[in-house]
């Protein structure tokens, strides 16, 4: 292309950059969609302060506005070669059924499933060993793999299985006096992670308050199940990225501003109202604006962190925490969630990293990307004096 093509262009001259006159690259009018939704870029119009109505956008592409809902709208404005200002819009949309009241799960129906379970009273033996039942990535509200109904079934069935597993461990000769049952983050699907895109696209089947309500009642059911069986029941709760209550510009207001933490606090308050029944139950939360928990049980130091903090190399992160003399750096065992599959990695003389599987219904995004599905499960093992035994996935 010659220099003259960019010089002395009169009004109405075509844009030499492409076949669409006066339209920036990437904003040419088009639409791409399927049954799950799509993206449309509108035809240019004169610059206007008001966003277009949904009908105006859908009419351009012969789509019925009654069948679709816009989840995100972006505006681009530019000046043409003749000095006129134009604008276009990029609209992301999904089927309206995604938002209909009829399509949303009934949170009370899910909560009724919790109420139906009535664990029997049991004698609580004592002993010098601790049994750990680690919960990770429940992501209540996530639609994948059957949605919240499947997630709740995954949780309750594993809590029930914990009772039988505890009895089996004792038959093997381990005296279990304490149970540690950590909740390792991403308890809710939430609406903050991934910039809120999943929630905006309708990929949640419960509102945030409904997700929270199901979570705290599931926590309460786990406590009702395990508390009668042990001398001490310890419930550590740490936040994950999906649990974040608020994030602005990619920054959280406080790292402990978490729906998971709030659910744990609510259940703790409830247990304290009945010390005769739940006096053996204690909770541990991160210090304000922190993400991790470290505790000692039966001579073993346990640390807990969600994987959005340590990424794909937890051992390197752990080593750095130790070098910085952070509490988690003193642990024998580091428990983590976030990556949704089980993994055990020895490090050093008496240190091991354990990644817990998820209890959600799977990840359609990850299956599309990698072709794999992770099995749901709850991690269990026995520990004392820095060692671990009898690992099992329930």
Q: Which of 52, 72, 98 is the last residue of a domain?
A: 98
Residue-wise pLDDT tens digits, 271-305: 888 888 888 999 999 988 888 889 999 999 999 98
Rounded to two decimals, the pTM is 0.67
Q: Tell me how far apart the alpha carbons of residues 300 and 297 are, in angstroms, rounded to a whole number.
A: 5
264 with 350: CB under 8 angstroms?
no
Task: Say if residue 146 is in the same domain as residue 60.
Answer: no
pLDDT in the model for residue 127? 82
- The two tokens of residue 37 are 């939704």
Task: Say if residue 123 is in the same domain as residue 179.
Answer: yes
pLDDT at 25 > cutoff 80: yes
pLDDT in the model for residue 296? 94
Task: Say if residue 85 is in the same domain as residue 199.
Answer: no
Range 283-287 contact pairs with CB under 8 angstroms and sequence separation of 24 or more: 283/234, 283/235, 283/236, 283/237, 284/234, 284/235, 284/236, 284/237, 285/236, 285/237, 285/238, 285/256, 285/261, 286/238, 286/239, 286/255, 286/256, 286/261, 287/256
Task: Say if residue 248 is in the same domain as residue 278.
Answer: yes
Residue-wise pLDDT tens digits, 326-380: 887 788 898 988 777 777 788 877 888 888 888 876 665 556 565 566 678 899 9
Count of alpha carbons within 13 Å of 226, Cβ hemisphere only?
A: 31
Residue span of the structural domain in which 217 resides: 104-393
Task: Say if residue 155 is in the same domain as residue 304.
Answer: yes
Residue-wise pLDDT tens digits, 180-201: 999 998 878 776 665 555 554 4
Number of domains in the chain: 2
Task: Say if residue 62 is in the same domain as residue 204.
Answer: no
Question: How high does pLDDT run on average in the chain?
Answer: 79
pLDDT in the model for residue 295? 93
Task: Say if residue 253 is in the same domain as residue 347.
Answer: yes
Task: Say if residue 230 is in the same domain as residue 94.
Answer: no
Task: Say if residue 307 is in the same domain as residue 224.
Answer: yes
Task: Say if residue 119 is in the same domain as residue 94.
Answer: no
Task: Say if residue 111 is in the same domain as residue 9.
Answer: no
Task: Say if residue 235 is in the same domain as residue 290.
Answer: yes
């Amino acid at each position: 292309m010659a220099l003259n093509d960019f010089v002395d262009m009169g009004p109405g001259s075509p844009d030499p950059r492409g076949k669409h006159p006066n339209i920036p690259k990437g904003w040419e009018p088009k639409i791409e969609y399927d049954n799950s939704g799509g993206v449309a870029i509108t035809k240019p119009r004169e610059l206007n302060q008001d966003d277009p109505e949904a009908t105006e956008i859908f009419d351009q592409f012969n789509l019925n506005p009654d069948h679709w809902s816009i989840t995100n709208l972006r505006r681009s404005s530019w000046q043409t070669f003749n000095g006129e200002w134009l604008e276009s819009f990029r609209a992301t949309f999904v089927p309206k059924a995604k938002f209909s009241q009829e399509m949303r799960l009934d949170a009370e129906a899910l909560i009724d499933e919790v109420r139906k379970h009535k664990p029997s009273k049991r004698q609580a033996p004592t002993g010098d060993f601790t049994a750990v039942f680690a919960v990770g990535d429940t992501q209540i509200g996530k639609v994948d793999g059957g949605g919240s109904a499947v997630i709740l079934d995954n949780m309750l069935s594993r809590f029930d299985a914990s009772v039988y597993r505890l009895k089996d461990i004792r038959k093997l000769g381990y005296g279990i006096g304490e149970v540690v049952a950590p909740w390792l983050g991403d308890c809710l699907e939430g609406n903050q992670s991934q910039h809120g895109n999943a929630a905006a696209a309708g990929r949640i089947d419960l509102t945030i308050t409904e997700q929270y309500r199901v979570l705290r009642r599931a926590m309460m059911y786990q406590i009702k199940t395990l508390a009668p069986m042990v001398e001490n029941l310890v419930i550590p709760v740490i936040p994950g990225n999906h649990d974040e209550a608020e994030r602005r510009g990619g920054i959280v207001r406080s790292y402990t501003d978490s729906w998971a933490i709030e659910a744990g606090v609510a259940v703790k308050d409830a247990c304290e109202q009945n010390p005769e029944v739940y006096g053996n139950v204690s909770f541990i939360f991160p210090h304000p604006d922190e993400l991790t928990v470290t505790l000692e049980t039966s001579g073993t130091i346990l640390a807990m962190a969600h994987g959005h903090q340590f990424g794909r190399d937890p051992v390197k992160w752990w080593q750095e925490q130790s070098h910085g003399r952070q509490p988690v750096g003193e642990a024998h065992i580091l428990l983590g969630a976030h990556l949704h599959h089980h993994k055990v990695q020895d490090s050093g003389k008496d240190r091991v990293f354990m990644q817990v599987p998820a209890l959600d219904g799977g990840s359609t995004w990850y299956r599309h990307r990698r072709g794999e599905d992770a099995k749901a499960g709850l991690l269990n093992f026995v520990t004392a004096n820095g060692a671990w035994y009898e690992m099992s996935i329930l």
